[in-house]
Structure formats: structure tokens, C-alpha cells
Structure 1
């Protein structure tokens, strides 16, 4: 697993490290196909409800087909803001993005329609795990 991407105190750290590892297992053609289908940069801002700390990760499905810790460079197409637990539930399929958004558990900045493509990115990565 990728330790350079983990942030202590966040349950999502292991999931995001798993995503990074899954992306590294894509062949060039798989990566290009996923990027062509998605064509966006997602910045994910998660908050730990106990400590109130915030951590940020970026999934770049526009230029590099990679996952990294930190703010999007140069700029995200959509920023997803939620609690750490909500992201865990999204990845594990316990809640879908639309329900999370409608109940106020997920907030977005930027291209909200692009946010709907994140589910496909997560499912594509899970197939490599």
C-alpha cells in the first residue's frame, strides 16, 4: 500500500491508498479509456468528525490518471466535501452520491455533473483490487 498518501486519523486513508494502488495496476490502454470516459479532476476534502481535521486528496482522471495527497494542481473540476465516514460509505456502496448530496452529507463546488462520474471511477478501481 502507498504510505505516502495516508493521513493518520482518517479511515479513508487506506481506501484512497488502495485506489492509488489500483490505478497503478491499470494498463496504459485501461488508464486512457477511464480518463477518456471521465475527463475530470476530483478534489476530495474529508473532515474527521472527532478531531475536526481536514485532509485533501486528488483523483486526476484528466491528465495523469493518478491519485495523490493534497490539493489539485492546477485546479479541480469538482471539489467534493464530506465527512470521512461518508466517503467510506460511498466507496463501500452503503450510500450513493445522489442520496449523500440530497441529505446534505456531500457538498460540491464546481462541475456537479462531473461528480456523478466518481462512482464509475471508484468501481473501475475496485475491479483492480
Structure 2
């Protein structure tokens, strides 16, 4: 819900315009690939939806909810998380490299 509100702000709209990609997040409670909740952050339309993307997202990220929270709050760098195996990525590597914590609301808003 916080992401939806963030996408409606001027900062969210600027990020959507700058990035212009579709990311799918598969978030698991404990283990990647098990009982995942799926969310789509569509930075082409500036929308956030629950459920798989209809079509092919530019990049799909799979992680645990604790690693997702660390990335969303800026406590963990996405590139470092990938190197450590905390994130699994499918799709375009160049699109994945444009994924930064800037797309999330600031921690005070979470």
C-alpha cells in the first residue's frame, strides 16, 4: 500500500518517468520459491499491483521478506544482496541494474 501511495507522489512519478521498467517481486516468508507473494511495480505506468505481471516483466526479483525489507529501507544494497545470494534475478540484467532503493518510499513513510 505504501508503494501505491509513493507512486502517486511527485517523487514517485519522477522515478517512474526516469526508470520506465516493469519489476516483479516474488517475496517469500522464509525461503525463496516457497509460499511467495507476488507484486508488480510498473514504472511505465506508475502502478503497483498484487499478483503476477500479465506479460513479461523487465526483471523479476525473488527474495525473502526480511531481505526485501532491508533493501526497501536502504539497509542493504541490491547489488550486494545479489552477490550474497539474497536475491535471485530473472530477466534483463541491465533492467535489474536500474533497480535501486530509490523506487521505494523513504523509511519514515514505511
Bin the TM-score by the shorter chain. Answer: 0.7 to 0.9
Distance across 1 between alignment mates of 2:103 and 2:96:
10
Whether the 8 Å contact between 2:73 and 2:106 is mirrored in structure 1 is: no
2:38 to 56, 60, 64: 56
Do the aligned partners of 1:47 and 1:84 also contact (CA within 8 Å) in 2?
A: yes
Unmatched runs of 5 consecutive residues or more in structure 1: 1-16
Say if 1:46 and 1:56, in contact at 8 Å, map to a contact too. Answer: yes
TM-score, normalised with respect to structure 1: 0.72
Q: Displacement, 1:114?
A: 1.4
> TM-score if structure 2 supplies the norm length?
0.83
d(CA) in 1 for partners of 2:84, 2:51: 27
Q: Name the SS of the counterpart of 1:88 in structure 2.
A: helix
1:71 to 2:52 alignment: yes
SS of aligned partner of 1:80: strand
The answer to whether residue 61 in structure 2 is matched with residue 80 in structure 1 is: yes
Larger Rg: 1
Following TM superposition, the consecutive aligned residue runs of length 4 or more in structure 1 with deviations greater than 6 angstroms are none
Q: State whether residues 19 and 126 of structure 1, in contact with CA within 8 Å, keep that contact through their aligned partners in structure 2.
A: no
CA distance in 1, matches of 2:52, 2:21: 14
Instruction: Say whether residues 1:126 and 2:110 are aligned partners.
Output: no
Note if 1:46 corresponds to 2:46. Answer: no
